[in-house]
Amino acid sequence: MRLHPHTDSPTHPSGSLRHRTGRLAGTAAALAVLAGLGPLAGPGAHAADNPYERGPAPTTSSIEAPRGPYAVSQTSVSSLSVTGFGGGTIYYPTSTSDGTFGAVAISPGYTAYESSIAWLGPRLASQGFVVFTIDTLTTADQPDSRGRQLLAALDHLTERSSVRGRVDASRLGVMGHSMGGGGSLEAAKSRPGLQAAIPLTPWNLDKTWPELTTPTLIFGADGDSIAPVSSHAEPFYSSLSSSLDRGYLELNSATHFTPNSSNTTIAKYSISWLKRFIDNDTRYEQFLCPLPRPSLTIEEYRGNCPHGS
């Protein structure tokens, strides 16, 4: 349910921008042109008065699907061409008719490579994000280093990469698995302007993150014996400020390595979190509030509702 005052409210049932009928839609389209937003066409036809909204209205099916509405292209970034991280792969919506997109950098865990988190590239990019899955300088790098590398990757993406013109440098997020998830907490602590952080079965020796100002969704796994939730994901979540938009999703029947393969629960809540906080897209609030109930795939969910208040 969109919460806009103008476009989709029940008092204006014929004012839909999608159909471009009626006076309200015409006015909004004219304003969009005046604002330099370009024509309302393609998957972003419903851009409405949130300038960061991308893609059609979501449904449970659309966020659970293996692919979203955007066709995805990819480009490889050689480690030899960058500094501060180990190169990687950029996945991005092929279309240039929807303006710029928010972006997210994703780090693998200890001993692991980009390939271990590669499934998230096309999965997230097809929903309307530029996604940079990276390698680290060495596979033994610790979480603080991984945090700096995520930030170096975002800087490369927005300042020097071949797709820099497609990225909105003011709307960035970080994700990571294990020590990379610990790194995503480090990155958010270092750069409070980040709009979203999503640590996946995170590992870190630092258990306390009260400094974070970035909306953070932490995934734990009930069967994780490498980064047990009792000494990693749970204390990380509990230490986040209670005034922050924060979430803790504990995956049911899952292990430390569950985030290394396609996983619908990780995808649907990550998409919702990134959309809600990188795109300010309140159409996704319905998937986060009220808090998801325990299920076959969710052992437990903690968080605040509603968000942004």
Residues that bind Zn ion (CB under 5 A): 206, 208
Residue among 29, 37, 169, 226 that touches ligand 9J3 (CB under 6 A):
226
Q: Does 254 contact ligand 9J3 by CB under 6 A?
A: no
Place of tokens 């969710």: 298
Place of tokens 């015409």: 26
* Shortest spacing between CB 208 and ligand 9J3, in angstroms: 18
Q: Does 109 contact ligand 9J3 by CB under 6 A?
A: yes
Residue (110 or 269) nearer to ligand 9J3, CB = 110
- Residue 255 burial by CB count (10 A; 0-12/13-18/19+): exposed, middle or buried? middle
Q: Which of 141, 256, 270, 272 is catalytic?
A: 256
* Shortest spacing between CB 178 and ligand 9J3, in angstroms: 3
- In the sheet that holds 130-134, the strands lie side by side as 72-77, 88-93, 130-134, 101-107, 167-177, 196-200, 216-221, 246-251, 298-303
* Shortest spacing between CB 220 and ligand 9J3, in angstroms: 13
Asked if 117 contacts 183 with a C-beta cutoff of 8 angstroms, the reply is: no
Instruction: Assess whether 156 carries a catalytic annotation.
Output: no
Residue (144 or 285) nearer to Zn ion, CB = 144
| Rounded (5°) CA angle 264-266-222 | 110
User: DSSP characters for 136-194?
Assistant: -SSTT--HHHHHHHHHHHHHHHHHTSTTGGGEEEEEEEEEEETHHHHHHHHHHHH-TT-
Distance CA 196, CA 302 (A): 17
Token couple for 47: 């851009």
* Shortest spacing between CB 137 and Zn ion, in angstroms: 23
Q: Which of 178, 184, 270, 272 is catalytic?
A: 178
Q: Does 116 contact ligand 9J3 by CB under 6 A?
A: no
Residue (92 or 203) nearer to ligand 9J3, CB = 203
Residue among 179, 196, 221, 288 that touches ligand 9J3 (CB under 6 A):
179
Instruction: Assess whether 178 carries a catalytic annotation.
Output: yes
Residues 185-204 within binding reach of ligand 9J3 (CB under 6 A)? 203
Residue (93 or 202) nearer to ligand 9J3, CB = 202
What pairing do the DSSP bridges indicate for beta strands 130-134 and 88-93?
antiparallel
Residues 227-246 within binding reach of ligand 9J3 (CB under 6 A)? 227
Distance CA 114, CA 104 (A): 14
Partner whose footprint covers residue 109, from ligand 9J3, Zn ion, none (CB < 5 to 8 Å by kind): ligand 9J3
Distance CA 105, CA 96 (A): 21
Residues at the site binding ligand 9J3, with contacts judged by CB under 6 A? 109-110, 178-179, 203, 226-227
Active site residues: 178, 224, 256
